[in-house]
Structure 1
Amino acid sequence: MDKFDANRRKLLALGGAALGVAILPSPAFATLSTPRPRILALNNLNTGESIKAEFFDGRGYIQEELARLDHFFRDYRSNKVRSIDPGLFDQLYRLQGLLGSRSPVQLISGYRSLDTNNELRAHRRGVAKKSYHTRGQAMDFHIEGVSLSNVRKAALSMRAGGVGYYPRSNFVHIDTGPVRHW
Structure 2
Amino acid sequence: MVERPSGTDLTNPSTSRPESPENSDAPDAARRGFLRSVCKLGLAAGAAICLPTLITDTAEAASLSAPRRTLQFVSLHTGEKLKVTYWADGRYLPTALQDVNEMLRDWRTGEQTRMDPKLLDLLFQLRQKLRADQAFQVISGYRSPKTNSMLHASSDGVASKSLHMEGKAIDIDMAGRQLKKIRQAALDLRLGGVGYYPKSSFVHVDTGRVRQW
Amino acid at match of 1:148: L
Amino acid at match of 1:65: A
Residues 143 and 58 (structure 1), Cα distance of their counterparts in 2 relative to 1, 3 Å cut:
farther
Distance 1:155 1:144 in 2: 16
Distance 1:52 1:82 in 2: 19
Q: After TM superposition, give the deviation of residue 31 of structure 1 in Å.
A: 2.0
Residues 177 and 73 (structure 1), Cα distance of their counterparts in 2 relative to 1, 3 Å cut:
same
Q: Does 2:27 match 1:31?
A: no
Q: Does 2:119 match 1:126?
A: no
Q: Does 2:96 match 1:65?
A: yes
Residues 165 and 29 (structure 1), Cα distance of their counterparts in 2 relative to 1, 3 Å cut:
farther
Unaligned runs of 5+ in 2: 1-56
Q: Does 2:206 match 1:175?
A: yes
Larger Rg: 1
Give the alignment's TM-score, normalised by structure 2: 0.71
Q: After TM superposition, give the deviation of residue 29 of structure 1 in Å.
A: 4.4
Distance 1:56 1:74 in 2: 20
Q: After TM superposition, give the deviation of residue 30 of structure 1 in Å.
A: 1.8
Distance 2:194 2:172 in 1: 11
Amino acid at match of 2:69: R
Question: Which of residues 130, 138, 143 in structure 1 aligns to 2:169?
Answer: 138
Give the alignment's TM-score, normalised by structure 1: 0.83
Partner residue in 1 for 2:17 = none
DSSP-derived class of the 2:92 partner: coil
Which gives a bigger RCO, structure 1 or 2 (Cα 8 Å, sep 6+)? 2
Partner residue in 1 for 2:79 = 48
Residues 58 and 165 (structure 1), Cα distance of their counterparts in 2 relative to 1, 3 Å cut:
farther
DSSP-derived class of the 2:91 partner: coil
Q: After TM superposition, give the deviation of residue 125 of structure 1 in Å.
A: 3.2
Partner residue in 2 for 1:155 = 186
Partner residue in 2 for 1:106 = 137
Partner residue in 1 for 2:39 = none
Residues 145 and 38 (structure 1), Cα distance of their counterparts in 2 relative to 1, 3 Å cut:
same
Distance 2:121 2:185 in 1: 14
Partner residue in 2 for 1:94 = 125
1:118-159 per-position Cα deviation (integer Å, ceiling 9, x unaligned): 101111231111100001100001111110000000000111
Unaligned runs of 5+ in 1: 1-21
Distance 1:101 1:144 in 2: 10
Partner residue in 2 for 1:117 = 148
DSSP-derived class of the 2:137 partner: strand
More helix by share: 1
Q: Which runs of 4+ in 1 moved over 2 A?
A: none
Does the 8 A contact of 1:35 with 1:59 survive in 2? no
Q: After TM superposition, give the deviation of residue 47 of structure 1 in Å.
A: 1.1
Does the 8 A contact of 1:38 with 1:58 survive in 2? no
Amino acid at match of 1:30: A
Distance 2:172 2:106 in 1: 15
Percent pairwise identity: 41
